[in-house]
Amino acid sequence: MERVGSSSGLYQMFSELTELLVVSGSPKSKAGEFLGYLEEVPIALIPELLETSITQNNYQPAEGERLQFYTVTLEYGRCFKEESVITRHLFCSNPSCYTQTNLLHVVVRYYDYANIEEMKAGCMTKPLRQFHITEDLNTDWKDRDMYWLPLATFLGATLGMTQADSPNVPLLVAERDLSQPLPDCELSKVGDLMFTKYEKLIDNNPELAHFFLLQALKFKPELGQKHWDGKELDQTMDLLEEKSNGVARCTTPATNVDQCIMEVKKEAMFGEDGGDGAPPTTPSSGDLAHALDLIKGQGALTQEQYLDAKKVLNITTSEDSMPREYNVLNSMEDLNGQSNEHWGWTSFDKLATWESNFK
């Protein structure tokens, strides 16, 4: 974290340069003993850099040794652009919304590959796990409780983890669920603007403010995590429970907007081959999921292809999501002022006796 707070390269070349921590599968590392640390590496050159290091040193990995490494970058929020930069809720107040951080913040990604060939085939587009640490306006990230302990918790939970291990290890509260598609930025920006309207009107015109709040949550459901303090928690839950009563009946569609649009896209996609002009029967998400399951059951799809197809067709179920240690949207509690232990972070005492979960 001291490097992140002092590196001019990471700061000026955000999302382009990274700190690279190689923990296994390289002549610069030895699993369980030491790691290779390279500063300000161009992200695009990591595959070539690791391959060159392995081939030039004639490195022969030990039996079962995998190529594993972390990248540490500074990044802005993916949807923080255009209209979003003028909204009033720029900051993240608690770890449940670290993945939604807008301003320059730390993103740590962990990669696990069987070997260099698998890494090159994947082009580093699919990290195994991804962790976010919120912004620091001083850009030094010196607060150990707020920044260092969350990072130490993530490193301790993932060091040595393999692709086979990952589905069985619950996500930390500040991890992004990589099994789920990224939110649509256009919808996200509309949600941000509507939430700004809610904050502006809540004192003088609460009915209209509540309408904007419900609309904001339908365009950007994850806003509930960013502003989930006591006052707004009570208001939001009361509004959502109204359903067809009060201002809730003024909102449309019934589900969140992204899901509704994806349903329309699927209807259009499958309606192009109507044949005799009769309205075609549009497969439901359940039909598509069943068809994919049958195809996978015949061995025609690898697990990765199967998951990619589900993302393209927007087929998601509760079983598809990664498990979480702490599900903020189901906690029904004020999130402000909670302790490190509440969020699942480790402690400095535990760090002194830490051992890897993966052998």
Q: Tell me the HSE value of 267 on the side-chain side, using a 13 A CA sphere.
A: 7
Residue 357, pLDDT score: 75
Q: At residue 129, does pLDDT exceed 90?
A: yes
| Residue 31 contacts residue 23 (beta carbons within 8 Å) | yes
DSSP state of 104: S
Q: Is 264's pLDDT higher than 70?
A: no
Cα–Cα distance between 126 and 105 in angstroms, integer?
A: 20
Collect all residues with Cβ–Cβ distance below 8 Å to 38 and sequence separation of at least 6: 19, 20, 22, 28, 49
Cβ atoms < 10 Å from Cβ of 65: 17
Nearest-angstrom CA–CA distance, 20 and 13: 15
pLDDT in tens, 2-43: 888 888 899 999 999 999 999 888 877 776 677 888 899 999
Contact (Cβ atoms closer than 8 angstroms) between residue 267 and residue 282? yes
Calpha distance 172→324 (Å, rounded): 6
CA-closest candidate to residue 41, choices 5, 66, 9, 8: 9
Please, which residues have CB within 8 angstroms of residue 233's CB and are 6 or more apart in sequence?
A: 332, 333, 334
The pLDDT tens digits of the residues spanning 205-238 come to 877 887 788 788 788 877 766 655 545 555 565 6
- Listed by start position, the domains of the chain span 2-168, 185-250
Question: Mean pLDDT, to the nearest integer, of 158-179?
Answer: 90
220 CB contacts (<8 Å, ≥6 apart)? 183, 187, 188, 190, 191, 192, 195
The pTM for the full model equals 0.75
pLDDT tens, residue by residue, 50-73: 888 888 888 888 888 899 999 999
- Are 266 and 313 in contact by the 8 Å Cβ rule? The answer is yes
| 264's tokens | 């329309």
Q: State how far the Cα of 228 lies from the Cα of 234, in Å rounded to an integer.
A: 9
